[in-house]
Structure 1
């Protein structure tokens, strides 16, 4: 992508990089309010049928996902104009989603700065190996990687491990401000859990919030996965890496039905978000619709996103994601050619 095209693209997106306080407040109301109502109805349904409770838990999980998008925008300082207000709302929505504000803000900003850069992986992203790296790695590393990329581990165990356990601890070398925010989040979270357990009973709390938490977590991991794992994605070594190409070619346009688009806070327009994180979630679709280049990007649907689960490794020779089976074939063929030469 030329510098001229890059400038044009950024100029087209610039008008949408402004938060609207009225829209932000309304989004808080139409997200947190319904979530609390659904939670209360799910609690009341325990005396009727747990199947009804689970059905309401799915709806509640959707609203938790939408709350996370608000948290996510606050981390980018795009939800409100005022940074302090972003931090306050971000910390509180972080409690609702089990995420410490400062810690995740740091790792996620690193993710944006290094997304699709093969030489700068490891912070704020999912573990992804190239075909050559995988076959050059020790057996124990390959086994660990296969386990990590297993759908059951990634989407069932992963949300519990990351959101409930990993997020409770500071990373090595975290700044004081970041550490204190993690402690504060943990204290408020613990207090909230104890209060709810006292009000409704710990069994009822777990029966209601447990499935909501897990389903929302699985949805979150899934969204993050499909937004960067699709067949013809973009990955380059640092010397050839380009931020704009990484945004528009390495981040997908996840075309979802309108109800799912709403509940996921327009995060399916991930290419727009990576191009300009300052665009609030309620402006992403408009930015996409009013820029022709942004409409000609990798597009995935519900069906094609399900197919992406089989992708495991990045094949640098073919510039695409491949399955373990395909990687074995291509790597074996490459070795045979090398031996002949």
Structure 2
């Protein structure tokens, strides 16, 4: 039976599980219009200097991230009250961000239902190994994992692999509707680039879209990474796992400067989002501020978030993330303790 305090916490944020049509439409306008304007400005700036166009392209990448947050809310059915409106806007914003709507919607729902559950890893999340699993893994498996967790692979190569390759294919076991949606969105993405190619040419397209795409992709992966990969996170096996604990303790409150908070659609209030995915992004801050128990969530600033780059393995004994080096030392100590006990 769930703790009454946990039930009360979930209930306390229910009043924020509402959509406001005017705010949603306003958010579409203040996101997509600047995105198009910045992209166009970057294109016309090419005739003057690429060093003038490049900053505009980079800033447009931040608006692609904001577009993704709208897509994200549509996947949760929290951007509009109408399912049809969420689906249409989700497909449009998914095309812009290169993310297949139904595929991501379904896998992300699994992520929310299994986040921080050690027995249900593998769908919609990052690859996480425990200290014990890493010690028992083969040399090849360890190499694969170390490459996966390497910052260069994750944040430099990762955006190109995930958004250009991985998302172009269907998940194993995907149902027909999801498969067809992925095919449809692949066609829409090709059509989008085809139109841009005809309008501006391949060189301008590459010079503007490449930095915009990379910034949005790298930042998207970073946000997802840092909001679950911090030292004192929460992971439990299924019998001990709690949805509320996973939300409040296994998701961080990423405190960002106001401009970055706006550009990232308040997703830094990730603990609130995991507690109640039906809260639209524009009410996440209100839900946090008006719910005192949520103030106890792990708060991470920009400086502290960089420390998360060193975490690599989850240690079930100390219940915290550790580096590869710390993992080796802990495994050696545990082995020594077992040998002495025997």
Asked if these proteins are the same fold (TM beyond 0.5), I'd say: yes
**Alpha-carbon distance in 2 for matches of 1:58, 1:8:** 43
Give how far 1:11 is off.
Answer: 2.0
Q: Which residue of 2 aligns with 1:52?
A: 52
Q: Which residue of 1 aligns with 2:292?
A: 292
Q: Which residue of 2 aligns with 1:281?
A: 281
* Residue 270, structure 1, aligned to residue 298, structure 2: no
Query: Within 5 Å, which residues of 2 pair with 1:42-121?
Result: 42-121=42-121
Deviation string, structure 1 residues 132-175 (Cα, Å, up to 9, x no partner)? 00010011000000000000000000110000111111112111
**Alpha-carbon distance in 1 for matches of 2:53, 2:229:** 33
The normalised TM-score by structure 2 is 0.98
Give how far 1:2 is off.
Answer: 6.3
Give how far 1:44 is off.
Answer: 1.1
Q: Which residue of 2 aligns with 1:41?
A: 41
Q: Secondary structure at the match of 1:118?
A: coil
**Alpha-carbon distance in 1 for matches of 2:232, 2:171:** 33
Give how far 1:258 is off.
Answer: 0.3
**Alpha-carbon distance in 1 for matches of 2:16, 2:252:** 19
**Alpha-carbon distance in 1 for matches of 2:193, 2:143:** 37
Give how far 1:119 is off.
Answer: 0.3
* Residue 317, structure 1, aligned to residue 317, structure 2: yes
**Alpha-carbon distance in 1 for matches of 2:23, 2:287:** 16
Structure 2, unmatched stretches of 5+, are none
Give the 4+ runs in structure 1 shifted more than 4 A: none
**Alpha-carbon distance in 2 for matches of 1:51, 1:164:** 26
Give how far 1:114 is off.
Answer: 0.2
**Alpha-carbon distance in 2 for matches of 1:172, 1:332:** 38
Q: Which residue of 1 aligns with 2:176?
A: 176
Give how far 1:311 is off.
Answer: 0.4
The normalised TM-score by structure 1 is 0.99
* Residue 12, structure 1, aligned to residue 12, structure 2: yes
Structure 1, unmatched stretches of 5+, are none
Deviation string, structure 1 residues 215-250 (Cα, Å, up to 9, x no partner)? 100000000000000010000000000000000000
